[in-house]
Amino acid sequence: MTEAWQQAFARVPELLAAHVQLSFSALLLAMTLCLPLAIWAARAPKVAGVILGFASLVQTIPALALLALFYPILLGLSALLGGEISALGFLPALLALTLYALLPILRNAVTGLTGVAPAAKQAADGLGMTAVQKLRLVEAPLAAPTIMAGIRTAAVWTIGAATLSTTVGQASLGDLIFAGLQTQNWTLVLTGCFASAGLAVIVDTLLGLIERGIRDRRKLMAWGSAAVIGIGLAIALLPMLVVRDDVVVIGAKGFSEQFILARLIGSRLEDAGYEVRYQDGLGSAVVFQAVASGDIDIYVDYSGTIWTNQMKRTDTVPADDMVSEIAKWSASEHGVTMLGALGFENTYAFAVRPEDAASRRLKTLDDLARVSSDFAFGTDLEFLERPEWEMVKAAYPIRFKESRSFNATFMYPALSSGEVDVISAFSSDGRIAANGFVVLEDRKGAVPSYEAMILVSDDRSGDAKLINAIKPLVGAITVENMREANYKVDREADKRSPRQAARWLDEQIRNGKDQ
Amino acid sequence: MISTSSASGPAISLKKVRRSYGTVTAVDDLSLEIAAGSFVALVGLSGSGKSTLLKMINRLVDPTAGEVLIADDNVKAIDPHILRRRIGYVFQNIGLFPHMTISRNIAIGLELAGEKDGRAERVAELLELVELPQEMAGRMPHQLSGGQQQRVGVARALATRPGLMLMDEPFGALDPVTRDSLAGQYKALHEKLGLTTIIVTHDMAEALYLADRILVMEAGQIKADATPAELLSGSVGDEAEALVAIPRAQAAHLIALGNADGAKKT
């Protein structure tokens, strides 16, 4: 237990700094945008209606959706501008959070400015103040406490929503929460939650003190709190000054196997003297673009995923042909090097409970089709939208009673508890065997092959030292070892971290080589 | 530098001034000459156009037609904020800046004009002028009573030594005792500083007491233009007589009450 906490805490400083950098930048950008707009809006009620309407509309979009939306928008922009814009990581997170912070700042600033006592404004005019003097000497100071309250609300929202930026590949305290959720490591989840909540509470308190300081004209209180915030920011921004140009970024999708393989590759690179950073929790669609654009350097993907999602192929070819065709395609179309297959497959496997398999005589997907109208289907979050599902439906007359999507972690318990009757499991997942689930055979070969393979970005493919460090992993991982490693992370009791599982897997690889 | 009697109020001239808001005409082709150093009261019912007329002089309102001259200068030719810094303006809601000390409130006109030297001395002088204790300088507006706040309002208006004072119901929100003493003190200031003062009021008694010339407004026009003495003698006309009738009746009532009381005692 203590080791788990130590490991979780060890990641906090770096992620906290990234979290602060992101939230602060978004807040600063939102303030820069909002304050002039609010001054304009306070003088023109029609403008206020339009601007506040837009900000309110943005607020109705869930933060996660807003983040997801910026990926294709930036990708389109990047294509227009010759690929100079990174569609992943800091930029989409910054823009989405900035939009999200607009409403409270705008609304309060407009309220504050329009709420300045008419007598004070009349006096300002009567005394011969220019518009700028009136704003500086009268309106701004009188509206300041209200404006500050808006900034405070925005700060708390932004810090909270910043945890979601993990999904677009921006490091934040959300990394802990998402990784913990995937691997059922509640220590990690709690650490992420407490750290982000703690940050929000501290910032809220300090901004609250500034607000009170302004309201009660207690300069010491206002400036003192501002100074504390300034020191905190300086500490968080310090790492940005340290140039780390030779960090290898290893990407991973949002499940345990990906975390483990990323750590395995990372440890080999660290042994070779590289500094390594992980970008976990990237979506399937996002991750290939990320390696193509050089936002990440290395990651592991599965042949069928590239085949269907990226190459848009719906035909099935033998596994080896598929891998070599992917290698050709990725190199010519995107400059991405396919280094080789790791040696195991992680395909979609339709799994049922052993009792059902026995009582309803289920062995193949044809059998499943027969009973499908009685069955509830549980999938991960993306399967129902993937072409593989269309391919399965085209090959087998499957029509389920209902379909439900789960976080992959909860899909297995949902099957064992009877909430659903069949799931789209991953064939390399240790929880299939551990639960005794029965995998139904795909005799028509509807689901393409899913060989795990290492993809390397254009920037790194010429680095012989790097390639040599990870090349030995090609063909070195058996599906049994992968399942075992996955299960070490995914199981309920005696859990291991992805790094520990990667270490175990590495030992198996080295022992295998020795024998 | 330190002098309170150097200011000499300008003459004001309004030529066929009109101000319309849509179809409503607040001030209707009005012409008026105000002599330098006079104390003029604009009286009339709400909506008679007296405030609009006052605000056209410092361009808080611009006329739809006609011209306003201050000492032969057409106000249209002067930047509004420059113009207003030369004119004292006091109004019913006072409008002290709640986030500034009394001292900074009083000196704000000097701050706007960029005058850096002698601000503290000027504030002290002005506090004395409006009969406020010096320790008020460091207080905030909300710590002062209504009457004290309006004294500060007057001091603030006088800070830049304007020759012309425009007062829009300046004592309207004060209790009768404060109002009476402040009005009296202001009248003394007006004379001491040689100001031109135009005051808007709907209190005829106040107008009779303060002004040397009373203009009765109705529907955007001047219905009567007379000295207090002429008004009281009843020689000016029916509109004016109706306005004077109220304070006269009140005064008569008070005298009658006093007599009756006196009769009982004897």
A128/B93 CB distance under 8 A: no
CB A56: neighbour CB atoms within 10 A?
Answer: 13
**Could you tell me the residue range of the domain that residue A362 belongs to?**
348-439
Per-residue pLDDT tens, chain A, 515 aa: give them. 577 788 788 888 888 999 999 999 999 999 999 999 999 998 888 988 999 999 899 888 888 888 888 888 887 887 777 666 677 778 889 999 999 899 999 999 999 999 999 999 999 999 999 999 999 999 999 999 999 999 999 999 999 999 998 888 788 999 889 888 877 778 889 999 999 999 999 999 999 999 888 888 888 888 999 999 999 888 888 776 665 567 899 999 888 899 999 999 999 999 998 889 888 878 777 788 888 888 889 999 999 889 888 888 878 788 888 889 999 999 998 889 999 999 998 988 899 999 999 999 999 999 999 999 999 999 988 888 888 888 888 899 999 999 988 887 788 889 999 999 999 998 888 888 888 899 998 888 888 888 999 999 988 888 899 999 999 999 999 988 999 999 998 887 888 888 899 999 999 998 875 54
Give the CA distances from residue B15 to residues A144, A467, B87, in Å, rounded to whole numbers and listed in that order: 44, 92, 20
- CB nearest to B82's CB, from A126, A128, A141: A128
B84/A127 CB distance under 8 A: yes
Q: Answer for the pair A460, A248: CB distance below 8 angstroms, yes or no.
A: yes
Which of A241, A263, A283 is the last residue before a domain boundary?
A241
Same domain, B16 and B132: no
The domain spanning residue A369 has which CATH number?
3.40.190.120
Q: What is the mean pLDDT of residues B35-55?
A: 91
The identity of residue A277, as a single letter, is R
- B108 CB within 8 Å of a chain A CB: yes
Q: How far apart are CA B82 and CA B162, in angstroms?
A: 12
The pLDDT, as a whole number, for residue B5 is 40
Which of B161, B178, B213 is the last residue before a domain boundary?
B161
Q: How far apart are CA B187 and CA B40, in angstroms?
A: 11
- CB nearest to A129's CB, from B99, B112, B156: B112
Q: Which residues pair with A456 in a beta bridge?
A: A298, A337
Same domain, B39 and B156: no
Same domain, B130 and B198: no
Same domain, A210 and A318: no
The pLDDT, as a whole number, for residue A277 is 85
Same domain, A359 and A375: yes
The pLDDT, as a whole number, for residue B262 is 61
**Which residues have C-beta within 8 Å of that of residue A236, sequence separation ≥ 6?**
A16, A17, A20, A21, A24
B112/A133 CB distance under 8 A: yes
- B114 CB within 8 Å of a chain A CB: no
Same domain, B91 and B142: yes
Q: How far apart are CA A134 and CA A173, in angstroms?
A: 43
Which of A193, A209, A241 is the last residue before a domain boundary?
A241
The pLDDT, as a whole number, for residue A320 is 82
B-chain residues near A128 (CB < 8 A)? 80-86, 109, 112
Q: Answer for the pair A42, A113: CB distance below 8 angstroms, yes or no.
A: yes
- B172 CB within 8 Å of a chain A CB: no
Distance, in angstroms, between A27 CA and closest chain B CA? Answer: 27
Whether the per-residue pLDDT at B146 is higher than 60: the answer is: yes
Could you tell me the pTM of the whole model? 0.73
Same domain, A366 and A401: yes
CA A177: distance to chain centroid?
10
Name the domain count of chain A.
Answer: 3
| Residues A145, A151, A154: CA angle, nearest 5 degrees | 145
Backbone region of residue B131 per phi and psi (left: phi > 0; alpha: psi in -120 to 50; beta: other values): left
- B155 CB within 8 Å of a chain A CB: no
Most confident of the ranges A448-452, B33-37, B111-115: B33-37
Q: How far apart are CA A398 and CA A370, in angstroms?
A: 8
A-chain residues near B58 (CB < 8 A)? 126
Residue B119 falls inside a structural domain: yes
Q: How far apart are CA A440 and CA A438, in angstroms?
A: 6
Identify the residue whose tokens are 């340290």.
A242
Taking each helix axis from N to C terminus, what angle separates A408-416 and A174-183, rounded to the nearest 10 degrees?
30
The domain spanning residue B229 has which CATH number?
3.40.50.300
In sign, the C-alpha dihedral spanning A176, A180, A183, A187 is positive
Name the domain count of chain B.
Answer: 2
The pLDDT, as a whole number, for residue B2 is 35
Q: How far apart are CA A128 and CA B110, in angstroms?
A: 11
Same domain, A265 and A120: no
Same domain, A211 and A257: no
Same domain, B41 and B70: yes
Which of B161, B182, B217 is the last residue before a domain boundary?
B161
Q: Which of A125, A127, A146, A147 to mutate to test the interface with B (most CBs of B within 10 A)?
A: A127
The identity of residue B83, as a single letter, is L
Query: Using CB atoms and an 8 Å cut-off, which of residues 114-143 of chain A contact chain B?
Result: 117-130, 133, 137-138, 141-142
Q: What is the mean pLDDT of chain B?
A: 88
Same domain, A335 and A385: no
Same domain, A196 and A120: yes
Of A5, A402, A319, the C-alpha closest to A185 is A5
Same domain, B57 and B186: yes
Which tokens belong to A498? 């992805």
B95/A129 CB distance under 8 A: no
Which tokens belong to A457? 């970005």
A-chain residues near B98 (CB < 8 A)? 117, 120, 142
DSSP per residue, B91-156: ETT----TTS-HHHHHHHHHHHHT--TTHHHHHHHHHHHTT--GGGGGS-GGGS-HHHHHHHHHHH
Same domain, A325 and A471: yes
**Could you tell me the residue range of the domain that residue B116 belongs to?**
87-161
Of A461, A3, A476, A409, the C-alpha closest to A264 is A476
Q: Which residues pair with B69 in a beta bridge?
A: B13, B74
The pLDDT, as a whole number, for residue A82 is 67
Identify the residue whose tokens are 């425009």.
B166
Which tokens belong to B38? 């006079």
Same domain, A253 and A195: no
Same domain, A54 and A192: yes
Taking each helix axis from N to C terminus, what angle separates A2-43 and A174-183, rounded to the nearest 10 degrees?
130
Which of A439, A462, A494 is the last residue before a domain boundary?
A439
Of B182, B176, B187, the C-alpha closest to B209 is B187
Same domain, A64 and A147: yes
Same domain, B151 and B264: no
Same domain, A221 and A277: no
Q: How far apart are CA B210 and CA A457, in angstroms?
A: 89
pLDDT tens digits, one per residue of B203-231: 888 898 999 999 988 889 998 898 988 88
- B97 CB within 8 Å of a chain A CB: yes
Which of B132, B161, B190 is the last residue before a domain boundary?
B161
Which tokens belong to A87? 């569609």
Same domain, B21 and B72: yes
Q: Which of B60, B90, B93, B160 to mutate to test the interface with A (most CBs of A within 10 A)?
A: B93
Same domain, B140 and B24: no
Same domain, B182 and B52: yes
Residue B254: strand, helix, or coil? helix
Same domain, B172 and B262: yes
Residue A358: strand, helix, or coil? helix
Residue B2 falls inside a structural domain: no
Of B87, B228, B90, the C-alpha closest to B160 is B87
Residue A444 falls inside a structural domain: no
Same domain, B66 and B175: yes
- For residue B165, give the chain A residue with the closest CA: A126
- B94 CB within 8 Å of a chain A CB: yes
